[in-house]
Amino acid sequence: MSERRRVLLLTAGSAHALHEGVVAYAHEARWALDTRMLYTGQVPDGGPVDGVLCRHVPRVDVTSFVRGLDVPVVMLDRCGSDAWPCVTCSDESIGRSAARHLLERGYRTLAFCGPCDMPRKTLRMDGFKAEVEAAGERFVRLAPPPGAPAFGSAASVREWLGPMLATLHVPFAVMVGDDLEAIPLVDALGACGYGVPEQVAVISAGNDPMLCDVAPVPVSSVDVRPREVGYEAARLLGQLMEGEARPTAPVLVEPGPVGARASTDMMALPNLHSARALRFIWTRYREQINVDNVSAHVPVTRRRLQTLFHDHMGRTMQEEIARVRIADACLMLKKSTMRINEIASLTGFKSSLHFHRTSQSLLEMGPRAFRETGSIPNSGILPAQVGDQLPAA
């Protein structure tokens, strides 16, 4: 049996999905994978190695160590150097994906916020800008002035960002370069008096639940497919250790879908009353709400709100409640074995009869017939929670 190759994984930060991808390939290739640096923060010493996977860390000791090795090296991120091949998610595509998510929701002013202090952020901004301008909409750059702390406390961000935001008309949307920047941005927007997402939508990249889910408003984020990046980087290293030629350009993995959360769970509505009504419907439709409940949440008369909502959405509030309930129910009918009365209860219908009548009206067939012969309709933009009650695959 041939001797197992020894491979170093050099990274001082935790990125579990990325490491899972590396480990998956290492098992297939029967590598002896050294992951000690992940736990100790120190470059491993002792013994020859056959190859290195390195997630860029701006440390001289790591860079010097890698440069001193006469073995194949693959970077797990852009490092600003052509010395080593790298595998990374396509940053331009990440920016384009974020822009499309916002454009679909009707935003016409879309900004990229923060410094472009890393190559990946510049490429993400470039892709975002290209997609916005290709759609004929307005791109805005929100960059901190030289010397200003880009994303420190909410107060420091508000100091440089507030005057820039004052030049924009709500609703507008903002992308930041990565999930680490999303929380201080959401904090700063709140400190400046903006409602997220009723007035400003926010999106980032990384889709890390440890960051996105704990923000003051959970942040929508593009999936950068770290597990796939880790696997492909390890696979490339395996090829290089077998003597194959190194690629002449970064190996790019296309991003996954946007992980939609509350920060973009909205349509771009120029009227704040309509926006608040839509937000109430999208977050509460699974409860037995009606137009009276929505109206009680917004400080205008029911008649005025009905007019405003219809003018901006093109349908009534009751039609919107029915639309999102049925869209959610359609997925459950087709992708689960749940009973019809259970689905009715989970999606906000008062009874199975209420569910049947709404289904007959919108789908031209009852729930049972839809489950047997219907096709899931294209319902347009839907709340982020639609489909999240489906059983895990």
178-191 residue pLDDT tens? 999 999 999 999 99
Q: Which sign, positive or negative, has the C-alpha torsion 254, 256, 262, 266?
A: positive
Residue 378 lies in a domain: no
* Interatomic CA distance for residues 381 and 103, integer angstroms: 11
Here the CATH number for the domain that contains residue 287 is 1.10.10.60
Residue 106 lies in a domain: yes
For strands 258-259 and 220-222, give the pairing: antiparallel
On whether both 245 and 320 belong to a single domain, the answer is no
Q: Tokens for 83?
A: 């010395």
The pLDDT value given to residue 362: 97
Residue 104 lies in a domain: yes
| pTM, entire model | 0.94
What does each of the 393 residues of the chain score in pLDDT, given as a tens digit?
468 999 999 987 778 899 999 999 999 999 999 999 988 888 887 678 999 999 866 778 888 888 888 999 999 988 767 789 999 999 999 999 999 999 999 999 999 999 888 889 999 999 999 999 999 999 999 999 888 788 877 788 889 999 999 999 999 999 999 999 999 999 999 999 999 999 999 999 999 999 999 999 999 999 999 999 999 999 999 999 999 999 999 999 999 999 999 999 999 999 999 999 999 999 999 999 999 999 999 999 999 999 999 999 999 999 999 999 999 999 999 999 999 999 999 999 999 999 999 999 999 999 999 999 999 999 999 999 999 999 876
On whether both 85 and 109 belong to a single domain, the answer is no
On whether both 124 and 144 belong to a single domain, the answer is yes
What torsion, rounded to 10 degrees, do the Cα atoms 298, 300, 304, 306 define?
10
The domain tally of the chain equals 3
Q: Tokens for 69?
A: 């090795």
On whether both 10 and 105 belong to a single domain, the answer is no
Q: What is the CA radius of gyration of the chain?
A: 25
Q: How many CB atoms lie within 10 A of CB 164?
A: 16
The pLDDT value given to residue 1: 45
Q: Under a CB-based contact definition with an 8 Å cutoff, are residues 106 and 267 in contact?
A: yes
Residue 1 lies in a domain: no
Phi, psi of 95 (to 5 degrees): -60, -40
On whether both 202 and 251 belong to a single domain, the answer is no
3-class SS at 106?
coil
On whether both 99 and 119 belong to a single domain, the answer is yes
Residue 381 lies in a domain: no
Nearest Cα to Cα of residue 205 among 220, 185, 195, 192: 220
The predicted-structure confidence for 34-89, as pLDDT tens digits, reads as follows: 999 988 888 887 678 999 999 866 778 888 888 888 999 999 988 767 789 999 99
On whether both 137 and 239 belong to a single domain, the answer is no
Nearest Cα to Cα of residue 141 among 119, 120, 154, 122: 122
On whether both 59 and 110 belong to a single domain, the answer is no
Q: Tokens for 31?
A: 């590598």
On whether both 219 and 250 belong to a single domain, the answer is no
Provide the edge-to-edge strand list for the sheet that holds 6-10. Answer: 32-34, 6-10, 51-54, 73-75
Distances (CA, A) of 228 to 98, 209, 363: 19, 17, 39
Here the CATH number for the domain that contains residue 185 is 3.40.50.2300
On whether both 276 and 359 belong to a single domain, the answer is yes
Residue 53 lies in a domain: yes
Residue 26 lies in a domain: yes
Residue 389 lies in a domain: no
On whether both 85 and 230 belong to a single domain, the answer is yes
Range of the domain at 156: 91-223+259-264
Distances (CA, A) of 393 to 23, 45, 169, 226, 390: 23, 43, 42, 20, 9
On whether both 219 and 285 belong to a single domain, the answer is no
Task: Choose one of 264, 281, 316: the last residue of a domain.
Answer: 264
